[in-house]
Structures are given as C-alpha cells and as structure tokens.
C-alpha cells in the first residue's frame, strides 16, 4: 500500500507550510487530504488508475495532480522546495511540548536558532525573554519540554515499528537465497516502545545485506558490522539489527535473540540444573547441545515446560509459573468475536453505519458497537440526545438489513471535568454499550482525575472506561491518575477497563492490564476505529493483553453476543 507513505508526505507539506507562515487553511487542506488517504480501504494507486481520485473527499484538482506526481516519481516537487526553505532542526522544534509552528518560526527568524540544542542554550542564556510576548516561564517550559523529548530518545511505538520491520522482512523473503526471516527481540515480544528492531535471517550474510542497501530500508548510518550481524540506524529513528544464522542453528539464534536476557539466562540455568547443558560434544560451549534440539517448543519440552509464548518471555515469573503448571492459556487473535468501540460518520469517523457493520462482518465478527462521541466534544462533532435518537433508528435499519452481524448501539460519553457525564442517564440507559472517557481537563491533579473516573464508574449505565490513562505513546504521558484506586473501583462496580488498541495509545498498558486481571476486573480490547483500516489494529491490543497474561475469559469481546449482552445488562 502506498497510502501511508503518501499521507506522510502530505502531512510533512502541511507542517512545513505552517512553519513558513502560509495560509493555515491551505496547510490544513493537505492534512485533511492526508488523513483521507490514510483511511482509504484500498490502495490509492488503484483509485488513481480508475480515475476516481477526485471523488475522495478533500482531494481537488491540485492535490489530485500531486498524488499523480508522487505515484509516478515517488516525489513531490513542492515538498522538496519546502524542505529547502526550512532547516530540519526547526521542524524538530515543534516536537517540544508547547512549541508549535509559530514559535519555532519566530525562534528561527528572530534569533537565528536552527536546532533544539541551540534553542536550549538560548533559554539558559535568557535570550528567549527578549522576544515580545515571552517571559521566564516560557524559557523554563521549553527547557522542561526538551528534557522530556530527550528522555524519549529514539524510541518508536510498536504500531509504527511493526510495519517497518515487516516490510524489511518481506524484502528479504523475496530473495531466493534467503531461507527464513523472523522478527526477534523486543519486537517479537511486542514491547510497546522500541529503540531497536531485531531480525534473524538465514541464507544470507551481512556483507550481502549491506550490498542490498538502500533498497532494503532508509538508512541513516551503519553503526557496526561483523561476521554474523549488522547494525544500522534507520532514518525513522530506531536502530535495526539483522543477525545472520547458519541453517542448522537458526531456531537457536532466534530464541536467544528473542530474549529477554533475563528469560534466556533463567532457561539456560534451568537446563544446567537438569544436567542437559553438559550432554553435548566435548569442548563445545555448555549450551551447544541444545542446538541439537529441533526448535523452541522442543527446548521447553526438554526442560519439562509447556511452550512459553514470546510475549511473556520477560524473566518475570513465567518460568516459575510454567514449572508449577500455572501458565495461563493466553488469549489469541482468533478468539476475538467483536469490537466494542468504533466510530462512524455520525461523529468523527469516516464509515457509514452499514460500512462499519460490513467491515466488522468481513473480519468474522459477530458484533460491533458504534460508540460515537458525545455532544461536548464539538471538535469531533459529538452527538446530542436528538442526534443519538436519530442514529438509533439508523442502527435498527442496518440490523434489519444485515443478518450476519449485530450492530450494537453504543456511545463514547465524555466524563466532564466535575466527573458528571455528558449525556443524561435516560439516554445512556437506551444504549447497548456505554464507554466513558476523558477528553478534557487533562491537567487536573491526581485527586480530581481519579475522582472523575471513579464517579463515572459508579454510574449504573457505564460499562467500560475508555483509554483509562489518556497517554499517547511517545508523545503524551498518562494524566495524573491513581490506577490502583481506579482498578479497585472497577472491581467493586463491575466496570470493564479498555485496552485501546490504537497504535497511538495502547491504553491500558500491559502492567495495568495485569493488575486489573488480578483484581478480577474484566478487560475489553477495542480498536477505537474511525476508519476501516483501523479495525485491523486489534492485534496490537491483543499483544498488550498477552503481555498482561490475559486469557480468553478475562476479555469480554471474546465472548458470544449472548454472553456480552448479559454482561452489559447486569450492572
């Protein structure tokens, strides 16, 4: 699919236009078009070939031409020109919280600052306050913002890393000499943020991989290379390490590279304890005999253990649990029978209700809940009581028409700053599913935020708390909320907590989801999809659930429609 790359080019144009102080509405047109392309259910090239690109909302004559230019040359001249006009460091500055395009541009234009380092120095030398409208507070906030940015380092979210790694994997798989390629390391264990993408490959050596660059990946620099591995830094930030293994020891290399180091050490210690490590040929490393085992499953079997899935190989008690026969049967993607939080055109989604239902049916689901935003979220075209009633009629019509899926009527109701809900109880009572979420007042203190969510859970109509900590991976920290108390209240009131599978969120995270499970709280894995492609993000939420040791029973949307309906009506 070309869609993501093209959308990214349009987003970059929009950012650069804003930095250049161009008409913000023009810039926004690029951003809107980028979003539209990102959400297309098919490859933009096919639509373009059919001559239907102008039918995509937000794409007119000028942008249609740029789509064509990009498809034929893989470049947009206008973007190249913009890149010449603004130093990359100035673009970087807008990543600092509190610094937008206007400020970055002023720092550049009025003080000649072209990098984040220079900006920090200017703050410390009290130069920013010489600008009109800036004071000591501004300088302090910028320094704090820069520190927060540095702490995040070059990590990228799982949802961004996976497609990058899979593309490289697909490239390698196409080579005739390559026998096998797998994801390894933090990526295979599905950690939420990654600073290194690991791959293991057999049939090709590092020298040959080097010769395939740059067709393989966008490489910033080569960090290291030796006989059996190569490390690069990708332009998108993270490192990439490819380990080349001999065919006969492929699985062994993959197993070691999957880690974590604690898990590997614990397994090897157990092997030694069982006397297995010394069975091998004389003079070899103690662990070498294990190479004679055929694969990962056999390795664990040899040690008297069930297979330990990669997601929980953290060295945090999984071996002990396995030895005691207490390893849970982790929930699988194929267990998922529905999605209980999706948006439609009624608020800020792009699908009609029927399109949403059909898309969910195509995924083999039994049910899907439309949970559009409520009235106070005006930016997202939130629904009033009247519009919600009208939507309900629309839902009934779709359900009468389709017999392979049940469209549930839901709502994502805002938890207002005082903890009350954005819609009256009477209308919430009419809905099948009520997701309550916070979208405002992020800066309240821990007491206020915790009380808001706890109050919402006390409402008998609230079934699920949506994205409970409000974080955006790599961009915004969770708001101050006491999850311990939230989980306690969820258990007490029988409210489910959401694992929001959006690649930007993954909220709850694995730690909180595990704590919820232990407190007896049910989890729902929702995609929060606003478009058809986003329904496919379910696997990301699932990886969080697996890392949290969740089973099918813990996850509401693995249950049948009947069971889900019973659950939703019992509170």
DSSP-derived secondary structure letter, 334:
G
Pull the structure tokens for residue 436.
Answer: 């309550």
Pull the structure tokens for residue 384.
Answer: 């009033």
**CB-wise, 279 or 379, nearer to DNA?**
379
94 near DNA (CB under 7 A): yes
- In whole angstroms, the minimum distance from the beta carbon of 439 to DNA comes to 5
Q: Which string of x and - marks every residue 151-170 that binds DNA (by CB under 7 A)?
A: --------------------
**CB-wise, 103 or 267, nearer to DNA?**
103
Per DSSP, the three-state class of 3 is helix
Rounded Cα–Cα distance for residues 292 and 271 (Å): 14
- In whole angstroms, the minimum distance from the beta carbon of 346 to DNA comes to 14
**CB count in 10 Å sphere of residue 86:** 19
Taking CB under 7 A as the binding criterion, the range among 4-12, 50-58, 245-253, 425-433 that sits at the site for DNA is 50-58
- Residue 561: partners with Cβ closer than 8 Å, 6 or more residues away: 337, 338, 366, 367, 406
In degrees and rounded to multiples of 5, residue 339 shows phi and psi of -130, 125
- Residue 277: partners with Cβ closer than 8 Å, 6 or more residues away: 268, 271, 286, 287, 289, 290
352 near DNA (CB under 7 A): no
- In whole angstroms, the minimum distance from the beta carbon of 66 to DNA comes to 8
Rounded Cα–Cα distance for residues 460 and 463 (Å): 8
**CB-wise, 136 or 269, nearer to DNA?**
136
Residues 428 to 487: which contact DNA by CB under 7 A?
Answer: 439-443, 472, 476
Among candidates 420, 497, 487, which has minimal Cα distance to 459? 420
Binder of DNA out of 2, 236, 417, 448 (CB under 7 A): 417
199 near DNA (CB under 7 A): no
- In whole angstroms, the minimum distance from the beta carbon of 537 to DNA comes to 19
For 29, 101, 150, 236, 424, the CA distances from 90, given in Å and listed in that order, are 22, 9, 16, 17, 47
- In whole angstroms, the minimum distance from the beta carbon of 45 to DNA comes to 18
Burial of 567 by CB count in 10 Å (0-12 exposed, 13-18 middle, 19+ buried)?
A: middle
DSSP-derived secondary structure letter, 311:
G
Binder of DNA out of 4, 12, 35, 58 (CB under 7 A): 58
- Residue 144: partners with Cβ closer than 8 Å, 6 or more residues away: none
Taking CB under 7 A as the binding criterion, the range among 126-134, 149-157, 258-266, 508-516 that sits at the site for DNA is 126-134
Taking CB under 7 A as the binding criterion, the range among 128-136, 275-283, 303-311, 402-410 that sits at the site for DNA is 128-136
**CB-wise, 417 or 493, nearer to DNA?**
417
137 near DNA (CB under 7 A): yes
80 near DNA (CB under 7 A): no
- Residue 316: partners with Cβ closer than 8 Å, 6 or more residues away: 262
Rounded Cα–Cα distance for residues 434 and 410 (Å): 6
520 near DNA (CB under 7 A): no
Residues 99 to 118: which contact DNA by CB under 7 A?
Answer: 99-104
CA 101, distance to chain mean position in Å, is 25
284 near DNA (CB under 7 A): no
- In whole angstroms, the minimum distance from the beta carbon of 514 to DNA comes to 27
Pull the structure tokens for residue 347.
Answer: 């608020």
- In whole angstroms, the minimum distance from the beta carbon of 117 to DNA comes to 19
**CB count in 10 Å sphere of residue 140:** 12
Pull the structure tokens for residue 160.
Answer: 């961004």
- In whole angstroms, the minimum distance from the beta carbon of 228 to DNA comes to 44
- In whole angstroms, the minimum distance from the beta carbon of 449 to DNA comes to 13
126 near DNA (CB under 7 A): no
CA 131, distance to chain mean position in Å, is 39
Length of the chain: 571
**CB-wise, 162 or 416, nearer to DNA?**
416
Binder of DNA out of 71, 91, 111, 134 (CB under 7 A): 134
- In whole angstroms, the minimum distance from the beta carbon of 225 to DNA comes to 39
Rounded Cα–Cα distance for residues 318 and 310 (Å): 11
Count of residues of this chain found to bind DNA when the rule CB under 7 A is applied: 46
Binder of DNA out of 63, 408, 501, 545 (CB under 7 A): 63
For 328-475, where are the alpha helices, taking DSSP H only? Answer: 353-362, 385-401, 425-429, 446-458
Binder of DNA out of 170, 223, 362, 379 (CB under 7 A): 379
- In whole angstroms, the minimum distance from the beta carbon of 464 to DNA comes to 19
Taking CB under 7 A as the binding criterion, the range among 52-60, 393-401, 524-532, 542-550 that sits at the site for DNA is 52-60
Pull the structure tokens for residue 141.
Answer: 């906030």
Binder of DNA out of 1, 8, 20, 26 (CB under 7 A): 26
**CB count in 10 Å sphere of residue 46:** 12
29 near DNA (CB under 7 A): yes
- In whole angstroms, the minimum distance from the beta carbon of 38 to DNA comes to 16
Contacts with DNA, residue ranges (CB under 7 A): 23, 25-26, 28-30, 33, 54, 57-64, 78, 94, 97-104, 129, 133-139, 141, 378-380, 417, 439-443, 472, 476
């Amino acid at each position: 699919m070309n869609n993501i790359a093209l959308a990214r080019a349009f987003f970059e144009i929009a950012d650069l236009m804003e930095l250049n102080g161009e008409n913000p509405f023009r810039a926004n047109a690029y951003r809107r078009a980028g979003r539209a392309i990102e959400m297309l259910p098919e490859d933009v090239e096919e639509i373009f070939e059919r001559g239907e690109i102008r039918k995509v909302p937000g794409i007119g004559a000028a942008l249609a031409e740029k789509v064509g230019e990009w498809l034929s040359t893989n470049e947009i001249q206008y973007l190249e020109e913009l890149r010449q006009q603004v130093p990359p460091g100035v673009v970087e500055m807008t990543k600092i919280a509190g610094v937008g395009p206007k400020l970055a541009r002023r720092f550049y234009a009025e003080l000649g600052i072209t990098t984040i380092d220079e900006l920090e120095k200017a703050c410390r030398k009290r130069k920013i306050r010489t600008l009109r409208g800036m004071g000591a507070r501004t300088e302090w906030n910028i320094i704090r913002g820069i520190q927060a940015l540095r702490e995040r380092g070059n990590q990228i979210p799982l949802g961004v890393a996976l497609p990058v790694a899979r593309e490289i994997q697909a490239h390698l798989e196409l080579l005739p000499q390559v026998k096998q390629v797998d994801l390894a390391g933090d990526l295979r264990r599905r950690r939420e943020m990654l600073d290194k993408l690991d791959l293991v490959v057999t049939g090709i050596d590092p020298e040959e991989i080097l010769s395939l660059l740059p067709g393989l990946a966008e490489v910033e620099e080569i960090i290291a290379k030796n006989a059996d591995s190569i490390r690069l830094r990708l332009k998108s930030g993270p490192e990439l390490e490819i380990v080349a293994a001999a065919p006969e020891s492929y699985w062994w290399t993959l197993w070691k590279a999957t880690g974590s180091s604690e898990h590997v050490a614990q397994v090897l210690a157990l092997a030694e304890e069982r006397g297995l490590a010394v069975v091998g040929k004389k003079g070899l490393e103690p662990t070498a005999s294990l190479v004679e085992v055929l694969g990962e499953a056999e390795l664990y079997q040899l040690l008297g253990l069930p297979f330990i899935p990669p997601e929980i190989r953290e060295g945090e008690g999984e071996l002990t649990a396995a030895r005691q026969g207490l390893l849970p049967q982790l929930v699988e993607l194929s267990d998922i029978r529905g999605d209980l939080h999706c948006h439609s055109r009624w608020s800020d989604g792009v699908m009609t209700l029927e399109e949403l239902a059909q898309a969910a049916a195509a995924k083999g689901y039994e049910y899907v809940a439309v949970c559009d935003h409520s009235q106070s979220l005006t930016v997202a075209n939130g629904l009033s009581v009247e519009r919600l009633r009208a939507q309900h009629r629309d839902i009934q019509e779709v359900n009468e028409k389709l017999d392979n899926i049940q469209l549930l009527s839901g709502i994502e109701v805002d938890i207002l700053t005082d903890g009350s809900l954005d819609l009256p109880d009477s209308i919430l009572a009419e809905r099948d599913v009520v997701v309550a979420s916070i979208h405002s007042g992020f800066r309240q203190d821990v007491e206020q935020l915790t009380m808001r969510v706890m109050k919402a859970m006390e409402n008998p109509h609230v079934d699920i708390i949506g994205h409970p900590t409000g974080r955006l991976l790599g961009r915004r920290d969770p708001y101050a909320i006491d999850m311990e108390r939230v989980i306690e209240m969820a258990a007490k009131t029988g409210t489910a907590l959401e694992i929001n599978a959006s690649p930007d969120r993954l909220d709850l995270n694995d730690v909180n989801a595990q704590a919820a499970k232990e407190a007896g709280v049910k989890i729902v894995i929702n995609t929060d999809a606003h478009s058809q492609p986003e329904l496919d993000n379910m696997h990301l939420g699932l990886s969080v659930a697996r890392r949290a040791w969740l089973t099918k029973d813990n996850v509401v949307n693995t249950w049948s429609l009947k069971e889900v309906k019973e659950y939703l009506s019992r509170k």
